Amino acid sequence: MIKNERPLRQAFVPEKILHREGQKQELGNCLKPALDGRKPRNVFLHGPCGTGKTMLVKWTLEKLEEQSPDVKTSFVNCWKESTMHSTLATLLKGLDVYLGSGTSTSKALNYFEEEAEERNVVVALDEVDTLENKKLLYSLSRADTGIVVISNKKFALAGLDSRTKSSLSPEEINLPAYSKDEIFDIIKERTKYAFVSGTAPNPALRLISRLSKGDARIAIEALRRSGMESEQREKEKVTEDIVKQEFKKMKYLRKSEALKQLNDHEKTIYEMINDKWMKGPEMYDKYREKQENAIGERSFRNYLSHLADLGLLETKGKKSTKKYRKGV
């Protein structure tokens, strides 16, 4: 049934990008000056999970390198390389500069500046909100290079000091969640490369599109799992029953992975919520009754937003009228 598993993998960058024409143009226009040795405009790309941020940036960097031998690009995921030193070391590696052990961060920065002087460098920092020391953004923005920062948090750069903000001053590009129909087109296109013709029929794909809630990553993961399960059960094609079952498994998996990341306070919060919508202050009072060494209201709000990011909490409304209930 599955003729090629590669297009269903997380890191696969498709040749054809659907439904992102405007954003693709915008990003391309910002970075284009690198092709003839001018300084690109920096970019801040944001949007929810699974909206194609990582894919779009990787695709664009590849195209830039293909178009000019003078352009050199590098990509780092700050969640995997969160210290200033390891972020920088990974960026340098992408530029074919390998640091010896014991190289200081300031020496590494010098190397980076030299590279940026010599070549037309464009770098991307994915999941930039997890970068421990945002000073790196200041240093990078002082070098002769184009910088793309990516985050699923719209306010990821809000806390930067004004010097860094003005030195970086990025163009903002937003990638909104996909519609059901857009997700359908995306997974339909993938099936052409991954599935034997006719084995991933439209009703199953439509169901996946509906259940993925605008997240292409979840859709592709569900497609892969449903295909493998159907194969294992020796079905001729992917059925809607199998899709439903795989979504249940994925939900369970995501929840257990998310729960592992919680601290004690967040566990207390998660245990006291249910399907009823509650306001923040009401939850805070309840939390304080249950938790020894209760934290302040401000940290409490940070914890709520962490729980929401993990999908464990669902939210509605804005700011002071925001309400919460259990997500999964």
Ligand X SMILES: Nc1ncnc2c1ncn2[C@@H]1O[C@H](COP(=O)(O)OP(=O)(O)O)[C@@H](O)[C@H]1O
* Binding residues vs ligand X (CB under 6 A): 10, 12, 14, 17-20, 49-55, 186, 216-217, 220
Q: Which is nearer to ligand X, 72 or 190 (CB)?
A: 190
Compute the least distance from the CB of residue 27 to ligand X, in Å.
13
CA distances from 118 to 83, 111, 114, 145, 289 (A): 26, 11, 6, 10, 61
The listed partner (ligand X, Mg ion, none) that binds 51, CB under 5 to 8 Å by sort, is: ligand X
The listed partner (ligand X, Mg ion, none) that binds 220, CB under 5 to 8 Å by sort, is: ligand X
84 token code pair: 């200033």
Query: Bridge partners of 30?
Result: none
Compute the least distance from the CB of residue 13 to Mg ion, in Å.
12
The listed partner (ligand X, Mg ion, none) that binds 138, CB under 5 to 8 Å by sort, is: none
Compute the least distance from the CB of residue 283 to ligand X, in Å.
28
Q: What is the CA radius of gyration of the chain?
A: 22
71 token code pair: 């352009």
Compute the least distance from the CB of residue 274 to ligand X, in Å.
29
25 token code pair: 């143009």
Residues near 249 by beta carbon (within 8 Å), at least 6 away in sequence = 225
Q: Which is nearer to ligand X, 20 or 119 (CB)?
A: 20
The listed partner (Mg ion, ligand X, none) that binds 294, CB under 5 to 8 Å by sort, is: none
How many Å apart are CA 86 and CA 110, to the nearest integer? 15
CA distances from 246 to 9, 219, 220, 317 (A): 16, 11, 12, 31
Compute the least distance from the CB of residue 263 to ligand X, in Å.
24
Query: Bridge partners of 148?
Result: 43, 124
- In the bound complex, which residue of the shown chain has the CB atom lying closest to ligand X? 52
Q: Which is nearer to ligand X, 136 or 216 (CB)?
A: 216
Compute the least distance from the CB of residue 156 to Mg ion, in Å.
13
The listed partner (Mg ion, ligand X, none) that binds 46, CB under 5 to 8 Å by sort, is: none
Footprint of Mg ion on 2-61 (CB under 5 A): 53-54
Compute the least distance from the CB of residue 45 to Mg ion, in Å.
10
Query: Bridge partners of 145?
Result: 121
CA distances from 141 to 17, 35, 206, 253, 257 (A): 29, 19, 44, 39, 35
Q: Which is nearer to Mg ion, 54 or 87 (CB)?
A: 54
Give the per-residue SS3 of 63-121: HHHHHCCCEEEEEEECCCCCCHHHHHHHHHHHCCCCCCCCCCHHHHHHHHHHHHHHCEE
Q: Which is nearer to ligand X, 58 or 288 (CB)?
A: 58
Q: Which is nearer to ligand X, 56 or 243 (CB)?
A: 56
Q: Which is nearer to Mg ion, 127 or 266 (CB)?
A: 127
- In the complex, which residues of this chain contact Mg ion (CB under 5 A)? 53-54
